[in-house]
């Protein structure tokens, strides 16, 4: 297999062509009739048999794990490992009653000596657990400590000798990596670890970002592909789709379901990949996407959380599908900061039924009149020229504005514009006088803008406070430097900072903000 083959990535700021977190399951009239018939005939029998087998499997697992610690430090003896295959066989029978009458296995699963870690994708459902029972011996997994303490599922899980992660322990992530590394490099006979690097369920239409956990040990991994080649998607348990119970019932109402598992050749990381787990993860994802013939996206689990947040704020779920990992890097913003931004957008756009923002709402949000400069700024957000923007366009626009407007040069320029007496601080009166000079004496929202900068309510803002504000609200940094042209020489592309007296050369004779400046403000204004 040719490793490293790149799947063409989506353009950085293009609207996603694939939404990996939606399952728009629509049943035809025939399918609905089939579900009705199966619901009163075969499905109830399957359902009863499934839970009867789960209970029997629980009893067997309970007996087999007597005296076994929750966090084993050594693999179980060979005799117990052999007995652990009994619950695995029973698990396969359970899936038989769900409707997976057979499993197609392609490729060869390698031994522990060749690859201790198996990376499985795409991850779309709890039904993916069938991969654990498709081949023997049964693989291990990474799971939450809370799952292993559940009365039924937890006991069955412990027969896998899983690596357990505790959400209460702040050092749990590092301990998990150490456990995986220990097992991967140990000469003891630990079961192979199967991991879902996507970290959440998708609809298998694309491979989302891989988390680095499986790749930090820098050990060879075997990619494992999971497929459900069926007409109906009664398997994708995603943010925007049927519930888990509904999917289980619909699956049992099919005459049979097909499942394929394909073992790709072992991926051996290069020295560069060993030093860079994210590169290792991306290259393995490229290989798997190529074999699956699907695109890759920069979506993560955080996009699911944002979609749920958007719905809770009466916005379309798609509004939260922003490729969080990419946007957050550009804006230097964590998930909580993005929540705040989403909440703010929902408040701004509540006057529109479609949850979008137009130039009027944009103007009211910034407390600024609709000027040519404001329209130019809004155009950076409204990249398709529709006249309105959704949340995705909003955050992408902010990242674009931040890159161009929030530089030390432009922030310093804007600060010196407002620091009229050159004392190193901007007062409310100074900001109001400058903004009224460039926007008109009837502009009365300058005080409200100042309050958003002076969060400590000290009555004066120093450069560090001003710079932090510009980082948080880059649209103001862009507009301030657009509104206020200080002694700008159009021919030579020069401007002079009024307090420092330093002259700066701008590129190609244009202003540092990238927008042609039209208004000159002097200290006498």
- CATH code assigned at 466: 1.10.238.10
**The pLDDT of residue 507:** 40
Residue 20 resides in a domain: no
Residue 156 resides in a domain: yes
Nearest of 236, 210, 211, 208 to residue 299 by alpha carbon = 208
For residue 448, give both structure tokens: 């409200």
For residue 302, give both structure tokens: 């955080």
Residue 7 resides in a domain: no
208 with 70, same domain? yes
Domain count for the chain, please give it.
3
- Give me the residue label for tokens 């209970």: 55
C-alpha Rg value of the chain to the nearest Å: 29
Nearest of 291, 238, 38 to residue 128 by alpha carbon = 238
Measured from the Cβ of residue 60, the count of other Cβ atoms closer than 10 Å reads 19
253 with 154, same domain? yes
| Residue that is last in its domain, among 355, 385, 415 | 385
436 with 355, same domain? no
**The pLDDT of residue 504:** 46
Residue 522 resides in a domain: no
Cis amide leading into 122 (omega within 30): yes
Residue 101 resides in a domain: yes
**The pLDDT of residue 422:** 84
Domain with 130 in it: 29-292
**The pLDDT of residue 279:** 94
For the chain, the farthest-separated pair of C-alpha atoms sits apart, in whole angstroms, at: 90
- Per the DSSP assignment, residues forming a β-bridge with 137 are none
287 with 310, same domain? no
379 with 484, same domain? no
Residue 516 resides in a domain: no
Measured from the Cβ of residue 502, the count of other Cβ atoms closer than 10 Å reads 11
197 with 306, same domain? no
Torsion of CA 455, 457, 458, 459, to 10 degrees: 100
Tell me which DSSP letter residue 22 carries. B
The answer to whether 316 touches 309, Cβ cutoff 8 Å, is no
203 with 334, same domain? no
Residue 3 resides in a domain: no
The low-confidence residues of the chain, meaning pLDDT below 70, are 1-17, 167-168, 402-406, 441-442, 481-525
For residue 494, give both structure tokens: 């020069």
324 with 270, same domain? no
Task: Give the chain's mean pLDDT.
Answer: 82
Angle at 309 between CA 236 and CA 15, to 5 degrees: 70
pTM of the model: 0.74
Distances (CA, A) of 20 to 206, 208, 299: 6, 8, 8
94 with 241, same domain? yes
Residue 166 resides in a domain: yes
Q: What is the pLDDT of residues 200-229, one digit of tens each?
A: 899 999 999 999 888 988 999 999 999 999
Q: What is the pLDDT of residues 160-187, one digit of tens each?
A: 888 888 766 777 778 888 888 888 888 8
249 with 140, same domain? yes
426 with 505, same domain? yes
Residues 302 and 90: their CA atoms lie apart, in Å, by 35
Instruction: Give the three-class secondary structure for 290.
Output: helix
């Amino acid at each position: 297999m040719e490793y490293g083959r790149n799947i063409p990535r989506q353009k950085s700021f293009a609207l996603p062509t694939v939404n990996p977190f939606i399952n728009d399951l629509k049943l035809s009239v025939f399918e609905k009739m089939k579900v009705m018939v199966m619901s009163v005939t075969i499905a109830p029998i399957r359902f009863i048999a499934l839970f009867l087998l789960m209970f029997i499997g629980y009893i067997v697992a309970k007996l087999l794990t007597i005296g076994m610690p929750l966090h084993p430090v050594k693999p179980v003896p060979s005799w117990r490992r052999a007995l652990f295959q009994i619950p695995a066989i029973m698990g396969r029978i359970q899936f038989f009653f769900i409707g997976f009458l057979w499993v197609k296995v392609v490729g060869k699963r390698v031994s522990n000596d060749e690859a201790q870690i198996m990376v499985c994708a795409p991850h779309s459902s709890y039904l993916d657990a069938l991969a654990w029972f498709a081949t023997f011996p049964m693989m291990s997994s990474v799971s939450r400590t809370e799952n292993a303490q559940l009365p039924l599922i937890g006991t069955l899980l412990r027969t896998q000798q899983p690596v357990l992660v505790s959400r209460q322990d702040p050092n749990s992530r590092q301990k998990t990596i150490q456990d995986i590394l220990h097992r991967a490099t140990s000469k003891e006979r630990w079961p192979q670890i199967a991991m879902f690097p996507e970290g959440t369920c998708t609809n298998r239409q694309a491979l989302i970002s891989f988390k680095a956990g499986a790749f930090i040990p820098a050990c060879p991994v075997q990619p494992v592909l999971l497929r459900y080649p069926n007409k109906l998607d009664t398997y994708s348990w995603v943010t925007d789709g049927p519930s888990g119970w509904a999917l289980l019932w619909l699956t049992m109402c099919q005459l049979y379901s097909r499942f394929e598992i394909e073992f790709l050749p072992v991926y051996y990381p290069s020295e560069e990949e060993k030093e860079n787990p994210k590169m290792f993860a991306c290259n393995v994802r490229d290989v798997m996407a190529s074999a699956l013939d699907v695109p890759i996206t920069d979506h993560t689990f955080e996009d699911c959380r944002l979609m749920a947040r958007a719905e809770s704020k009466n916005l379309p779920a798609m509004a939260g599908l922003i490729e969080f990992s990419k946007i957050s890097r550009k804006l230097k913003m964590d998930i909580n900061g993005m929540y705040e931004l989403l909440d703010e957008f929902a408040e701004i756009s509540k006057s529109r039924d479609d949850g979008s923002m137009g130039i009027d709402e944009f103007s009211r949000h910034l407390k600024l009149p609709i000027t040519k400069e404001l329209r130019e700024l809004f155009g950076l957000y409204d990249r398709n020229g529709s006249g309105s923007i959704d949340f995705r366009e909003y955050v992408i626009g902010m990242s674009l504005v931040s890159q161009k407007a929030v530089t030390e040069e432009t922030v310093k320029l804007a600060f010196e514009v407002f620091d009229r007496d050159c004392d190193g601080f901007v007062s409310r009166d100074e900001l109001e006088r400058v903004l009224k000079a460039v926007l008109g004496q009837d502009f009365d929202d300058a005080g409200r803008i100042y309050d958003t900068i002076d969060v400590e309510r000290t009555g004066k803002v120093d450069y560090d406070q001003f710079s932090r504000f510009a980082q948080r609200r880059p649209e103001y940094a862009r507009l301030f430097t657009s509104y206020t042209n200080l002694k700008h020489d159009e021919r030579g592309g020069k401007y002079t900072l009024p307090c420092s007296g330093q002259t700066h050369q701008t590129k190609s004779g244009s202003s540092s903000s990238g927008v042609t400046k039209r208004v000159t403000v002097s200290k006498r204004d």
